[in-house]
Structure 1
Amino acid sequence: MSPVIARPAPEQDDDYAVTAEFYDVLQARQDSMRVERLYGGAVASARLGVLDVGAGTGRVTLMSLANSQVDVHAVEPSRAMRGPLMTRLASLPAELRARVTVHPEPLGEAGLRGVADVAVCHNVVACLSPASRRALWPAVAASLVPGGSLFLQLPPARVPGDDIVRVLPEQQVGRHHYGGRVTMSGAGDRIQTRFDYWVRAGAGVLRESTETFWMWPAWRAELVSDLAPYRFVPRTGVCDPDVLAMTLRGP
């Protein structure tokens, strides 16, 4: 019998090739605190599994392993972001690694069915066009069991009229200082988000990098309406202005 040879997955353009190097250094600590605040309690209540949609370098995944005793499914199509995620998971004790599965394809291609009772979409929805966003919901619904909960970080509600600039505090790594700046600009019905990064030593800049992303605004009510056809209803008792919490009704 001939051996079965797996075909290599087709390569995709990676939108995070630049950001992956700087994300953990400049933003991970603050994002870890935000993740714990937004989803920590919900993840702790999971009894079947946690689905992390758009796991990135692993902030929600690691929090889920720490706060729960269930299996965690981390979905991350970006090779650049998946590299730090896998490195981080490799450093964990074997008993924790045994509970996490990393899926390197989009959720709609992962074939997950009824694997979780808590799903988290952190820092994801804003980066999806309306069509891509709507295509995600049936895959999330299929991954959850009836009665399961979906928690998603809300995108901006509107396109900004003026540029919004946020400077990321510099961080020291050895003799080098890493810094960054985020600029959000309105562009029709979209938001252009530009990340400028730099590495300096003393007063001199060693190198600079830039990466630009598109974001799409959406109102809370718009997302509730988009999710309704897939049996999602607003979850009672959750009133955080940064998060939309939904429950999957039974068939």
Structure 2
Amino acid sequence: MHLVTTPAPVTQPDSYAVTAEFYDILQAERDGERVRDLYARQVAQARLGILDIGAGTGRVTLMSLAESEADIHAIEPARAMRTSLLTRLAVLPERQRDRVTVHPHALDRAELYAVADVAVCHNTIACLPPAARHVLWPAVHAALAPGGSLFLELPPETPPARDIVHRLPEKRVGAHAYGGRMSMSAAGYRIRARVDYWVRDERRVLRTHSESFWMWPASRSRIVEELARHGFLPLPEHGHPRVLAVSRPARW
């Protein structure tokens, strides 16, 4: 199970308001390497456009800018994460900024039609309950041009058999060290994840913050079946067991 993740909050009055402060410093470097390994070759083949579903602070978007000349549609409903994404884009040269459109809504509200030939959904599907997935799939189908491909990171197949605790390596910023710890436990058919963050100096902990999230497990076969009902066909295996590749046929 890939533990360094940012799943969907249990309550969402201001999604990721806590995690957004800590995500880039604690997790983005490692996740950026993972994104390049999983999707760089596919993104490089895009000609029409790239759809980044659940863009977060921009790991897939930035990788796509480097690997392709295609325009990018970054979908990020959470204001806290979107703020980090836009701040990152603001420091890029204008010619790169002009290629990225940031949509502040879920994909089904973005009203995108045949704008991309490659879609990436990284570190996102586990965050969505089944009802939300069934809304997402037709929106992806609409946003992809005929013949386009979707590459998505699969959720965990089942809740963990026992509690899992994963410590995020500390990173120093000036005189302060930032750290975190994620714990995951089964909660019926869901997974409850809690992330505890701290900031400390050489003598003491200066502040602590926590955020809790839900995740929804689903098997590969279940996701394939859901996508098939919305017109997607499996592509040859991606090469990584946690990534599913499907296509929107030219006719459906």
TM-score tier (shorter)? over 0.9
Separation in 1, partners of 2:180, 2:216: 22
1:219 deviates by 0.5
What's 2:242 paired with? 242
What's 1:14 paired with? 14
1:151 aligns with 2:151: yes
Amino acid at match of 1:53: I
What's 2:100 paired with? 100
The gaps in structure 2 that reach 5 residues or longer are 1-11
1:146 deviates by 1.0
The answer as to whether partners of 2:90 and 2:97 remain within 8 angstroms in 1 is yes
For residues 4-41 of structure 1, give each alpha carbon's deviation from its aligned partner in whole angstroms, at most 9, with x where no partner exists: xxxxxxxx722200000000000000000000000000
What's 1:219 paired with? 219
What's 2:80 paired with? 80
Greater relative contact order, per chain length (Cα 8 Å cut-off, separation 6+):
2
1:242 deviates by 1.4
Separation in 2, partners of 1:37, 1:14: 31
1:160 aligns with 2:163: no
The gaps in structure 1 that reach 5 residues or longer are 1-11
1:108 deviates by 0.3
Q: Which runs of 4+ in 1 moved over 2 A?
A: none
1:119 deviates by 0.4
Alignment of 1:1-251 (within 5 A): 13-251=13-251
Separation in 2, partners of 1:47, 1:206: 49
Separation in 1, partners of 2:195, 2:110: 30
1:250 deviates by 2.1
Separation in 1, partners of 2:192, 2:74: 27
For residues 190-231 of structure 1, give each alpha carbon's deviation from its aligned partner in whole angstroms, at most 9, with x where no partner exists: 000100000000130000000001000011000000000221
Greater gyration radius? 1
Task: Please tell me the root mean square deviation across aligned C-alpha atoms, in Å.
Answer: 0.9
For residues 157-202 of structure 1, give each alpha carbon's deviation from its aligned partner in whole angstroms, at most 9, with x where no partner exists: 1011110110000000000000000000000000001000000001
1:237 deviates by 4.5
The number of residue pairs the alignment matches comes to: 240
The answer as to whether partners of 1:141 and 1:230 remain within 8 angstroms in 2 is yes
Separation in 2, partners of 1:184, 1:138: 31
The answer as to whether partners of 2:224 and 2:234 remain within 8 angstroms in 1 is yes
